[in-house]
Amino acid sequence: AKREGRGNFQFFSPAMNAATHEHLMLENRMWAALEQGGFEVHLQAQVELDTGRVIGAEALLRWHDPELGDIEPSRFIPIAEESGLILPLGDWVLARAMALLAEWQHEGLGGLRLAVNLSARQFGGGALLARLDQLLDQHPIDPSLLELEITETAAMRDPENTRALLRQLRARGFKLAIDDFGTGYSSLAYLKLFAIDRIKIDRGFVKDIEHDPNDAAIVGATIGLAHSLGLSVVAEGVETQYQRSFLRDKHSDEAQGYLFGRPMPAREFGDFVRAQAQP
Ligand code: C2E
Ligand code: CA
Ligand code: CA
Ligand code: CA
């Protein structure tokens, strides 16, 4: 297409403007949503594979705009990242997560762990530790019940900074997980360099384990590697019984996916956990 001459540029230009325009429109609406309570956190269960018990949840952002309806994180998170809005938004998620953990303590769900996604910006910004300390003052919870998820790509942007920050976070007692494990370009060497607790095997590897022997081998080997480094493993995107028993046979510690439960509003999640506990 590049060779077809200058005319093409004029053809693509309005489309690019439309994309930029949509970007700005969504960004403006996100600022409004942040002020007006348009965001919500949904919770997806994480299940212990041996027992089937729900041991925690991942907090996932949801955005409902009065005119546009529900907008997917895959659409709004990149725009929030680019514009810097992810900082106040991510902060809101952290505060919400801490408040939920505190609520659970009063509702007899005290041992449940809650995992929160951190963007590279939040992670690299330097304000994270102080903010977490402040939130702990507000909500005196057991910090080991809060797990922070960072992607390999975010972790590897500035490995020295990551290393120092992870160590400080760990000293506070927070749990740390590498999200989307296996999708980054990074080497495995960082696993022993970084003070982390768990890896989350990306859904991309789990999806086809029934039919793709390579994916099955990768997942099996990854679990073995993690365990030999003293890390625990959560497998993401588990949708079928086959995947569940495969992962259990390979000794993945935990799993998360539609098979066990979809992300759901926080108030439903409490009932969901109680129902699981008493079948
Ligand atoms: P992620 O952190 O990898 O989250 C897992 C995604 O997989 C979620 O998509 C979840 O709904 C989906 N999922 C879970 N189980 C299954 C399954 O069995 N099958 C399939 N097909 N999908 C499953 P969601 O909620 O749309 O979030 C997409 C991404 O947006 C997240 O990927 C994460 O990168 C980002 N995100 C969501 N909430 C936050 C947040 O609070 N902060 C930041 N920085 N990013 C967030
Ligand atoms: Ca995640
Ligand atoms: Ca993930
Ligand atoms: Ca992902």
Which band of pLDDT confidence, cut at 50, 70 and 90, is reported for residue 124? confident
Which of 83, 117, 262, 264 to mutate for ligand 1's pocket (most ligand atoms within 8 Å of CB)? 117
Structure tokens at 105: 């303590």
Tell me, in angstroms, the distance from the centre of ligand 4 to residue 14's CA.
31
Structure tokens at 128: 């994270």
Query: Once rounded to an integer, what is the mean pLDDT over residues 157-175?
Result: 94
State whether the beta carbon of 179 lies less than 6 angstroms from ligand 1.
yes
Instruction: For ligand 1, atom 3, name the residue with the nearest CA.
Output: 180
Nearest to 209 by CA among 223, 199, 229, 198: 223
Q: Taking 80 as the threshold, does the pLDDT of residue 4 lie above it? A: no
Query: Which pLDDT score is estimated for 9?
Result: 43
State whether the beta carbon of 95 lies less than 6 angstroms from ligand 1.
no
Is the pLDDT higher at 245 or at 19? 245
Nearest to 83 by CA among 20, 18, 148: 20
Is the pLDDT higher at 80 or at 183? 80
Query: Once rounded to an integer, what is the mean pLDDT over residues 170-176?
Result: 97
**Letter for the amino acid at 13?**
S
Query: Which pLDDT score is estimated for 251?
Result: 97
How is residue 181 annotated by DSSP? E
Query: Once rounded to an integer, what is the mean pLDDT over residues 212-232?
Result: 95
Phi, psi (rounded to 5 degrees) for 234: -115, 130
* Length of the chain as a residue count: 279
State whether the beta carbon of 46 lies less than 6 angstroms from ligand 1.
no
**How many secondary structure helices (H) and strands (E) does the chain include?**
12, 10
| pLDDT tens digits for range 21-60 | 888 999 999 999 999 999 999 999 999 999 999 999 999 9
ipTM, 2 decimals?
A: 0.98
Strand 54-65 relative to strand 39-48, pairing: antiparallel
State whether the beta carbon of 93 lies less than 6 angstroms from ligand 1.
yes
Among the bound ligands, the one closest to the CA of 206: 1
| pLDDT tens digits for range 87-119 | 999 999 999 999 999 999 999 999 999 999 999
**Three-state SS for 239?**
coil
Q: Taking 50 as the threshold, does the pLDDT of residue 174 lie above it? A: yes
